[in-house]
A and B are shown apart, each in its own frame.
Chain A
C-alpha cells in the first residue's frame, strides 16, 4: 500500500517536471479555453455562444395564471436567443417531438397546476386536505443533456420561486392564504401579479445560467460559455495526461526501471497499482489546477465545490481506465503516445469539448457515451447550472463503471502480455 503510494507520488513528480507534458496538461487547455472564450465573446460582453435556439415544446394544459406565466417565461425577450419555444396542446405529440430529436425537451404543465398551488375557494374549504402541488413534467431528450439541462434549470428556477413564493422577501401567497391574511378570492389576483413578477423581475443569483437583468441592457440571458468550454478543454487534455501516464508504464520497461522495481521486494500488483495511482494523481492535479486557475483568472463559477471534487475524481478515474486500456493494447511507448493523441482528439470532439453534442448527429451522440468527456461534461454543466453532488449520480456512476470495466479488461490484457517475465 505504502509502496503503491510512493510510486504514484514519484510519477506525479516526474510528470510535473516534464516541460512538454506540462504544456499539454496545463498550458494548452488554458490557452484554448481563453482563445475559444474570446471567439465566442465571453470577454467582450457579447453573450452569443454555441448554445442558442434550443428547441423546446411547451404544452400548457393549465391555462391559468402560473401555467401561463411559465409559458411566458419561455416567450420572453430575455430567453429569445437561448430558446426556440413551440407550443402544443397535445402532450403525446410533444413527447414525440422529443423522441424524434426535434426538441431538446417538452414541458408539460398539467391541468390544475395553478390551482394546486393557489387553491380555489372550494378546495380551501375548512377541513379539506392541503392540496398537493401537481408537478410540471419535463420530458428531456437524453441525447441532449446540456440543452435539456438548461431547460430544466429554467423551469426549476421558476418552480422554486413559486414555491418559495418570494421574489423579494414576500411571504408566499399560499402561506398568506393559509394564515387567512388574504382570501382565496384575492389569491387569484395575487397569483396573476406573481406570474407577472416572475416574468418581469427574475432574480439574480450566482449560477452560471441566470435569467438576469444585470448586464448593461438589462435584457441579456447569460449562460457563461466558459462554464462549458473550460471543462471541455480540461477533459480533453485529461485524456492526454492519462495516455502520458500509460506510456510511462511501457517506458519504465524500456528504460529498465520496471525490471529493477521487480528485483526489489515489491510485488507486481503494488507496482501496477502505483502506476495507476500515479496516473490518477496526475490527472486529478491537472484538473484541480485548471479549475483553480479558471476560477481565479476568469471568475468562472464551477458550482458546488463538493460536486466538483467528486466529479473530478470520477472523471479522472474513468479517463485513467482509458489510459490503462490503451497501454494494455499497445506494444511500445510510442504507440501509446500516438493512439493517445488520436483518442484525445476523437473523444474531445465526440465528447463535446468543442461543440455541443446537441449539434451532432444521434449516432455520434450515442458513441459519445463511451467517452469520459461527455459524461463529465454533462456533470460539469449540471454543476454550472446550479446542480449539486446529489444531481450527479448518473454521470458519476457512468464514469466509475467505465473506469472499473476498462481497468479489469486492462489487467487481464496486461496479464496476457506479461510485461516482464521471460
Chain B
C-alpha cells in the first residue's frame, strides 16, 4: 500500500522548549496508526503541525501528495481532524453544528443535508440531533466532536485522544466507531496514552516520549524488543490502596516493575509463576484482598517501560 502520510524530521519549539524533536514516520493507506505516549510527549503538537494549525519549526510532512508547509489548503481538504478538546458550539444543536462545519468544508445543499444525516446515524445521535449540544453528556459531545471530522469523508482522519475523560460505555462506542471507519476504508492517525487502545486498534504503533519517536512498528515487532516478560494484573477492591502494594511488590526479587493502572496493580516479571506466591503473600500481609489475577503476554506497557524506565501513566 502507498503511503498517505510521510513525516520528515518534523520539529516544533515553543520558545526555547523543544516539544517535538524531529520525528519521522509513514502511514500507509488503509491502516490505523497509533501514536502512543504519556501526557506531554508531544502528540497534540505533532497532530497540530500535521493538520496545518501550527507551523513546524523545521521538517515537513507530505499528506496525500501535498506538503503541510507549502500546500496547507490542499492538505486541509484531504484530512479530517478530531481535536483532543471538544471544539463545538454548545448553543447550537448537533445537527446545526454538523451543518455549519460541513459548510466550512465546502459542502452545501442536498449533499450536505444527506451527509449530515449519515454522520448523525453513524455517531448514533439521530434522535438527539435537535437538542443543543450543551444539554449532552460528555460521551455524546465527544461523538459530535468526532462527527465533525467525518463530514467531508476525509482520506485521512486525525483523532487526538478521543476517549479521554468519558465513561467506559462511550469509550467502547468510540473504539467501535474507529474500527468501523477503518473498515470503510478510512486511514487513521490515532493518539492515545492508553496502551490498551493502541493494542486493540492499531496495525502499527509509534511510541513517543519527550518529543521523540522511540520505537515504531507492529505490536509484535515492538514487544519482541522487550524479550521474555510477563505481566500480572491484580484486580483489588475499590477500598484498598493499590499504591501500598506497588511499594511492597517492588521489594520482591524478580519483579522488574510494579505500577498502578486504573486501580489495578501491574507487575512485570520474567516469570509469573516465580513471583505469584510472593505477590499473594504480600497482599495478605497487608490485609488486601485480591479479587483476580490475569497473566499477560508482553505488551506495549512493558515496551514503554523497557525503553524509558518509566510507566506510561505516571
Chain A positions within 8 Å of B, measured between CB atoms, are 3, 6, 10, 13-14, 17-18, 255-257, 259-267, 420-422
Contact = CB atoms under 8 A, between A and B. Distances in A.
Among all A-B residue pairs, the 5 with the closest Cβ atoms = A256-B87, A260-B87, A264-B104, A265-B76, A263-B51
B136 interface: no
Interface string B39-59: 000000000100111110000
Interface in B78-114: 79, 81, 83, 85-92, 96, 100-101, 103-106
Contact of A420 (B53, B89, B148): B53
A257 B81 CA distance: 12
Contact of B105 (A14, A18, A265, A267): A265
Given A3-B104, A263-B53, A264-B104, A10 B87 contact: no
Nearest to B80: A263
A257 B53 contact: no
Given A3-B104, A265-B106, A421-B54, A260 B83 contact: yes
Contacts of B86: 255-256
A3 B103 contact: yes
A348 B86 CA distance: 38
Contacts of B103: 3, 6
A256 B85 contact: yes
Contacts, number: 66
B77 interface: yes
B73 interface: yes
B100 A6 contact: yes
A370 B103 CA distance: 39
Contacts of A3: 103-104
Given A259-B83, A265-B106, A266-B104, 16 more contacts: A6-B100, A6-B104, A14-B89, A17-B132, A255-B86, A256-B83, A256-B86, A257-B87, A259-B53, A260-B148, A264-B104, A265-B104, A267-B73, A421-B54, A422-B12, A422-B54
B89 A263 contact: no
B100 A10 contact: yes
Contacts of A256: 83, 85-87
Interface in B13-62: 14, 48, 51-55
A421 B69 CA distance: 13
B87 A259 contact: yes
Nearest to B19: A422
Contacts of B81: 260, 263
B9 to A, nearest CB: 19
B91 A261 contact: no
Interface in B118-144: 132
Taking chain A's interface residues, is the majority helix, strand, or loop, or is none over half, making it mixed? loop
Best-buried of B48, B85, B86, B104 by chain A (most CB within 10 Å) = B104
Nearest to A422: B54
Best-buried of A3, A17, A265 by chain B (most CB within 10 Å) = A265
A420 B49 CA distance: 12
Interface string B176-219: 00000000000000000000000000000000000000000000
A255 B87 contact: yes
B77 A265 contact: yes
27 contacts: A3-B103, A3-B104, A6-B100, A10-B92, A10-B100, A13-B96, A14-B89, A14-B91, A14-B92, A255-B87, A255-B88, A256-B83, A257-B89, A259-B48, A259-B53, A259-B87, A260-B81, A260-B87, A263-B51, A263-B52, A264-B76, A265-B76, A265-B77, A265-B106, A266-B104, A422-B48, A422-B54
B67 to A, nearest CB: 15
Contacts of B90: 255
Nearest to A14: B91
Contacts of A420: 53
Nearest to B85: A256
A241 to B, nearest CB: 16
A213 B104 CA distance: 61
Nearest to B49: A422
A421 B51 CA distance: 12
A264 B83 CA distance: 12
Given A263-B76, A421-B55, A422-B54, A257 B106 contact: no
Nearest to A257: B87
Contacts of A262: 52-53
A54 B197 CA distance: 79
B151 to A, nearest CB: 10
B53 A264 contact: no
A265 B83 contact: no
Contacts of A267: 73
A18 B89 contact: no
A256 B52 CA distance: 15
Contacts of A17: 91-92, 132
